[in-house]
Amino acid sequence: MQLDQATTEQLRDWETSLTQEYQQFKASGLNLDLTRGKPSAEQLSLSDSINEILNSDLSNESNTDLRNYGGLDGIPECKRLFAGVLGVKPEETLIGGNSSLTLMYMAVQFGLYQGFGDLAKSWNSEGRTVKFLAPVPGYDRHFSVCEHLGIELVPVALKDDGPDMDAVEQLLKSDPTIKGIWCVPRFSNPTGTVYSDQVVDRIAQLGKIASDNFRVFWDNAYAVHSLSNDAPELANLMDSCRKYGTEDSVYLFGSTSKITYAGAGVAFAGMSKANLKAFTHHLGMSQIGPDKINQLRHVRLLKDADGITEHMRQHAAVLKPRFDIVLKHLREGLGGTGMASWNEPQGGYFVSFDTLPGLAKEVVKLAAEAGVKLTPAGATFPYGKDPANSNIRIAPSVPSLEEIDRAMAVFVTCVKLASVKQRLS
Ligand code: PLP
């Protein structure tokens, strides 16, 4: 039934039956968790051969002793492998430790305090609050990097084809204190959005509008994480930048956290040769060299672009049925009710769900009281504040199929109950 067409009497009946259903869930002592955007044990096991793969053979392309210090920007074969994921040249690639978030944090710090190698251009030397554009809903840890470093976040809407570029361009033209923008261009967290070719092309031109110490933080965390073979591709940002001469305005990031091991993968970054030289120097102040043995293990496991595609197909086989259950519950339980909207992602790790305005916190609370843990409402917005109080991030990778099935039944009931109660109030 459509919520806004129900009579008061129908709504009251609905409320009674939903309350009964909800109380039954509550009494059944559930303990389910849809919060964790991390790979399941089954997914991690897909890479377990990485532990034996070297078999004491540390021979590598440049014949260096990988057990020793050095190789700050990574071993050549690993650069080649992940340059392809980011769509840059191997000589524009840096391989880091196990976390791309660390590289992103360091890059933001580098701009803030060191002006990307030109102290006179450090953001904080301008003596004004530094700002970043934050497409919303977005990834909470991007926001916390900025919050931690005292950078103000300016939300811009994330549309179906990427950030609202009219707003982005307008803001950049009118406010020189905006020094960066966060982008998750393929299967973004949490909406699953893939930026269109036109949006990628406009982002490549931001370096012409903004000051020369502005950077696009292009976090391609889900670059190869399709759930189906026909998922949309992403245009190549660096190629567009070459067209406009804006290569220095972008930093690209990625990692194998959701390809091999989230806790023991490799992170990588792509940037112009000038940026790479400066950033590597900066990195060298905090370490003498990364774990090159892990880099070699990753090359032996994944081999090449085809190897990555095949490996990701195995991940999709584990993940896709989980997403299917979530979507089945949403379609069957809430489709046509006018109570909610959600995305149907073709990759990534999340389903982004919107309640009617003002209900996300209530739904999360109701679900928690019935034993289903959801990501706190607001987490997908800077400072934890969703102005519409409607977005909820659903992360189905870790629970079993049966657990997702039960958790989603509870979730749908909570959404319906909260919506009917709101309509009656
Ligand atoms: N970027 C995005 C968009 C993510 O969703 C995540 C993890 O959920 C990360 C980065 C974390 O990456 P890493 O494990 O390489 O630090």
The alpha carbon of 335 is separated from its chain's Cα centroid by a whole number of angstroms, namely 26
Average pLDDT over residues 399-418: 97
Q: Report CA torsion sign: 168, 173, 175, 179.
A: positive
- The DSSP element (H or E) to which 171 belongs, if any, is helix 165-174
Residue with tokens 């089945």: 328
52 lies in some domain: no
Q: Which of 251, 271, 303 is the last residue of a domain?
A: 303
In-domain check, residue 22: yes
For residue 201, the one-letter residue type is D
Shared domain for 284 and 387, answered yes or no, is no
In a domain, 93, yes or no: yes
Identify whether the C-beta of residue 194 lies closer than 8 Å to the C-beta of residue 318.
no
Count of domains observed in the chain: 2
**Residue at a domain's end among 283, 303, 323:** 303
- In-domain check, residue 348: yes
223 CA to centre of ligand 1 in angstroms: 11
- Residue 300's φ and ψ, nearest 5 degrees, are -65, -35
The residue whose CA has the least distance to atom 1 of ligand 1 is: 221
Are 323 and 364 members of one domain? yes
CATH assignment of the domain containing 331: 3.90.1150.10
- The vertex-123 CA angle with 272 and 174, nearest 5°, equals 95
Q: Are 246 and 336 found together in one domain? A: no
300-318 confidence digits (pLDDT tens): 999 999 999 999 999 999 9
Domain boundary among 252, 282, 303: 303
Whether 366 and 206 have beta carbons less than 8 Å apart is answered as no
- The rounded percent of the chain whose pLDDT value lies above 70 is 100
One domain, residues 215 and 326: no
For residues 134 and 154, give the distance between their C-alpha atoms in angstroms, rounded to a whole number.
6
End-to-end CA separation in angstroms for the chain: 19
If asked whether residues 233 and 86 sit together in one domain, one would say yes
Pocket of ligand 1 (CB under 6 A): 37, 99-101, 139, 184, 189, 219, 221, 255, 257, 262, 267
Task: Provide the angle, in degrees to the nearest 10, between the axes of the packed helices 76-86 and 292-302.
Answer: 60
* SS3 assignment, position 4: helix
Span from the CA of 25 to the centroid of ligand 1 (angstroms): 33
Distance 101 CA to ligand 1 centre (A): 6
Summarised one tens digit per residue, pLDDT across range 206-256 is 999 998 899 999 999 999 999 999 999 999 999 999 999 999 999 999 999
Cβ-proximal residues to 382 (8 Å cutoff; 6+ apart), any chain: 134, 136, 143, 146, 147, 153, 155
Residue 279's closest CA among 97, 46, 116?
116
Q: Does 90 lie in the same domain as 230? A: yes
Is residue 50, in this structure, part of any structural domain at all? no
Look at residue 340 and give its three-state secondary structure: strand
Please indicate, yes or no, whether residues 292 and 314 belong to a single structural domain of this protein.
no
Q: Which domain holds residue 340?
A: 3-43+310-424
User: Would you state the pLDDT for residue 1?
Assistant: 81
Integer Cα distance of 217 and 26 in angstroms: 43
Mutate to test the pocket of ligand 1, among 219, 222, 350 (most ligand atoms within 8 A of CB): 219
Closest C-alpha to 201, from 255, 240, 156: 240
Q: What is the ipTM of this complex?
A: 0.99
3-class secondary structure for 221-264? Answer: CCCCCECCCCCCCCCCHHHHHHHHCCHHHEEEEEECCCCCCCCC
Residue type, 155: P
Q: Ligand 1 center to residue 227 CA distance, Å?
A: 18
Query: What does pTM read for this prediction?
Result: 0.97
Domain CATH number, residue 162 = 3.40.640.10
Per residue in 15-59, pLDDT (tens digit) is 999 999 999 999 999 999 999 899 999 999 999 999 999 999 999
Residue at 385 is within a domain? yes
Asked if residue 288 and residue 159 are part of one domain, the reply reads yes
206 belongs to a structural domain: yes
Q: Within this chain, do residues 33 and 94 fall inside the same structural domain, yes or no? A: no
Phi, psi of 195 (to 5 degrees): -65, 140
Residues 183 and 289 in one domain: yes
Amino acid code (one letter) for 403: E
The pLDDT assigned to 25 comes to 96
Q: How far apart (Å, rounded) are the C-alpha atoms in residues 85 and 226?
A: 13
Asked if 274 and 417 sit in the same domain, the reply is no
Give the tokens for residue 200.
Answer: 């990628």
* pLDDT mean across residues, the chain: 97
Distance CA 51, CA 102 (A): 24
pLDDT of 412: 98
Do 24 and 115 have their domain in common? no
54 inside domain: no
In the chain, what are the helix, strand and coil shares in percent, each to the nearest 5?
50, 15, 40
Other CB atoms within a 10 A radius of the CB of residue 41 amount to 7
Residue 150's pLDDT is 98
